[in-house]
Amino acid sequence: MSTGPGEPEQQALFGWSDTVPDEGAAPKGTAPKGPAFRDSPEARRMLDVREVYAEPAALDSPRGHQIMSRLAPDVRVTEVDGHWRIPSLHGNDGNIGRWVRIKTETLVLGVKHTLATRPNGRSADWIAPGPSNGCAMACAYCYVPRRKGFANPITLFTNIEAIVAHVRRHVRAQGPKTEPNQCDPRAWVYDIGENGDCSVDALVSDSTADLVAAFRSMPTAKASFATKFVNPDLLALDPQGRTRVRFSVMPPGDARLLDIRTSPVAERIAAAADFLDAGYEVHFNLSPVVLRPGWQRDWAELLTHLDDVLPDRVKEQAAAEIIMLTHNAGLHEVNLGWHPKAEEVLWQPDAQETKRSQNGALNVRYSQDVKRQALARLHQLLEEHAPWLRIRYAF
């Protein structure tokens, strides 16, 4: 696909219609027969690793050996002292023009040294230590790269056994959930993918499968992760209701501009029934809500589409989060270097104000009056077009 000046290298990962067969598809709720999706040409278009930066301990670990065994034998490996700050990667402003290519071709392997579970109370009760940081997708509003600098490929943490053990201890310490809340009426909900996308991680690592398997044996807890990528391999993980997948959706026009290299929104929605039948709880993230001319019309069309195509069994258990756009001045400057058209809708100083986030970062959000009016209108649209969609929280 050719791109013009100011366009990202790749506007979307899939045309998708030519990658999903019309015949011979797997029955609902089962993994596709034949080779794993992660070995397919479509998966390699997402992640075709040619360079690895790795901490020595990560390379020497069992998970590190497994990940490396799945990569091409001629992959270039550079050992680094730490995964967080790699001068030639995160500290090189010349990488901005290669933002998407680096996500496609570069992988970082590290060890997560600080294992901590912290309270959340919004989407989940707890934020667990995740198995990754960064992503092969390139959503223009993503908050993860705000502190990294000029590149944000996937960093995979190879000490998954320690991460799982930590989560198990934390779950045991909580005991049963005694009072229902907006996260879940019965189970303690742990977000396992705060800083990455577990569906994409599963293309090169079994850590997502390990976490799903771990929560399968925890009757008082439930894993949760948001995704913008439909990975059919996840249908084989048998979560038995103990993992919640939150498919992030937005109007398709916004997604084509902002959700670079993700599965098309219609495919995320179409996958909901398959994931439910495979044993996942399926929720949705209406995220992010970007205010620009025509946003109300386009969100109405999206909600109507959800109502039209989702089967009753999905609607009966579905819930959603509404997340208004949060942006950042540093990310704005980075985006101007690789995708300036996105900033025409993301950066709206007349409607935005600076606010310190829960994690201490100084970010830009819609002003209180603008946000309040937009949320009220979105609730009206939900009542008109998808009244079955329960909103767990709006932020």
Q: Which residues of the chain are modeled with pLDDT < 70?
A: 1-34, 358-360
Q: Are 129 and 165 in contact (CB under 8 A)?
A: no
Nearest residue to 135 via CA among 124, 123, 148, 119: 148
For residue 358, what pLDDT is reported? 67
- Alpha-carbon gap, residue 256 to 250, rounded angstroms: 10
For residue 32, what pLDDT is reported? 54
- pLDDT tens profile 336-350: 999 999 999 999 999
Q: Are 286 and 266 in contact (CB under 8 A)?
A: no
Nearest residue to 287 via CA among 391, 148, 153, 146: 391
- What 3-state DSSP class applies to 168? helix
For residue 63, what pLDDT is reported? 98
- CB within 8 Å of 372: residues ≥ 6 apart: none
For residue 6, what pLDDT is reported? 44
For residue 10, what pLDDT is reported? 36
